Amino acid sequence: MLVVEDEPRIARIIELELRHEGLTVTIAREGQAGMTLALEGDFDLVILDWMLPGYSGLDICRALRKDKRTPIIILTAKDSLGDKVLGLDAGADDYITKPFETEELLARVRAALRRGQSRELIRFADLYMYPEERRALRAGQTLELTAREFDLLHALVRHAEKVLTREAILSQVWGYQFDGETNVVDVYIRYLRLKVDEPFATSLIHTVRGVGYVLRKP
Ligand code: CA
């Protein structure tokens, strides 16, 4: 996990406690380094101090939430209701007010990690899908998909690199047996391409002539 905290004593305490729990910890001591690590790293949990030199914990939280669902705990001396609301609105999952007891920190870390793990993520190239939240992102950008488009992309990504026939897509996405009209699949594939492929430099959805469609890595 990543801990961004500028007070050496507190950073050290958190680091020791989390290591003692068997967790791997990276510490950043100011906002700029924290921002870079948070955005480029692949952490299971990010703990952000609010007041930091460089970017604030809130800045990092907002930037991280643009394309990642990593659980975030905000750590701060601020304890007014307004500040808590601001932190949660910025996308934080939880909030710990300093000074805190070690047991509270660890309990919240465990809870955040459990929540993070229970969230299903399907990842294919730069495409991320969270089926429970019906949320899809490509290259960090949220894709605005209709329910049917989401189901279609979900079916393709579940069978990524395998060709799906129009009939298979119909039965998986529309839920009825093929009865002669598969054009609807082609129509929806066109819609999907406009949102999933066209805005980006590379294409994921490929046509296999006479057979169906396949999701392939660029
Ligand atoms: Ca601080």
- Looking at residue 91, its pLDDT comes to 85
- Looking at residue 55, its pLDDT comes to 95
- Looking at residue 114, its pLDDT comes to 83
- Looking at residue 188, its pLDDT comes to 95
- Looking at residue 57, its pLDDT comes to 95
Query: Could you tell me the CA-to-CA distances from 121 to 80, 102, 109 in Å, in that order?
Result: 34, 31, 20
CA distance 68 to 142: 10
- Looking at residue 180, its pLDDT comes to 58
Which of the residues in the chain have pLDDT under 50? Answer: none
CA distance 97 to 74: 8
CA distance 9 to 14: 9
- Looking at residue 182, its pLDDT comes to 73
> At 89, which amino acid appears?
D
- Looking at residue 178, its pLDDT comes to 54
Q: What is the whole-number distance in angstroms between the Cα of residue 10 and the centre of ligand 1?
A: 9
Phi-psi region of 54 (alpha: psi -120 to 50; beta: other; left: phi over 0): left
- pLDDT over 70, % of the chain: 96
| pLDDT tens figures, 191-209 | 999 999 999 999 999 999 9
For ion ligand 1, residues whose CB falls within 5 Å: 6, 49, 51
Q: What is the whole-number distance in angstroms between the Cα of residue 65 and the centre of ligand 1?
A: 21
- Looking at residue 179, its pLDDT comes to 62
Give ∠ CA 123-126-131 in degrees, rounded to 5: 35
Q: What is the whole-number distance in angstroms between the Cα of residue 50 and the centre of ligand 1?
A: 6
Q: What is the whole-number distance in angstroms between the Cα of residue 85 and the centre of ligand 1?
A: 19
